[in-house]
Structure 1
Amino acid sequence: MTSCESSARSTRRKTARPAPSCRQVRLQTGLPGDADATAGAVDAELAEGVLTVRVPKSERARSRRIEVKT
């Protein structure tokens, strides 16, 4: 039994309102060529139903400061 099913059963016992719907969502997307997608570099967080994924730029793509001699 999934957590959605158990939540729905316990909700039906307490009130006459239907339980909140539960769904599974699958999204697959590509990353730009300058992304550093190594396992240690990617950070993902799920908070209040919002998935935030952070993928840093590779060292080669990061901005750098070039000194100009005058």
Structure 2
Amino acid sequence: MSLPELVAKNIANYRVAAGLSQDALGTAAGIAKNYASLIEVSAPDLTIETVESIARVLEIDASLLLADPRESAS
């Protein structure tokens, strides 16, 4: 899995776990609603600042969005 795919999957998983809609995440992170949904598909042109904003809204460390959960499960 590529890094953009991994980040997209992690964002979606953490968003769902936090009980947030894509709209709510986008609004709280200061990103366009349609971009919030696009991020979860392919994370196009995702900046580290956006990753940080999303992590802040999700109340997690930004590094978790970059981590492969399969590696920590071993």
| Structure possessing the higher radius of gyration over alpha carbons | 1
Higher strand share: 1
Classify the TM-score, shorter chain: under 0.3
What TM-score, normalized by structure 2, do the two folds share? 0.26
Structure of higher RCO (CA pairs closer than 8 Å, 6+ residues apart): 2
Higher helix share: 2
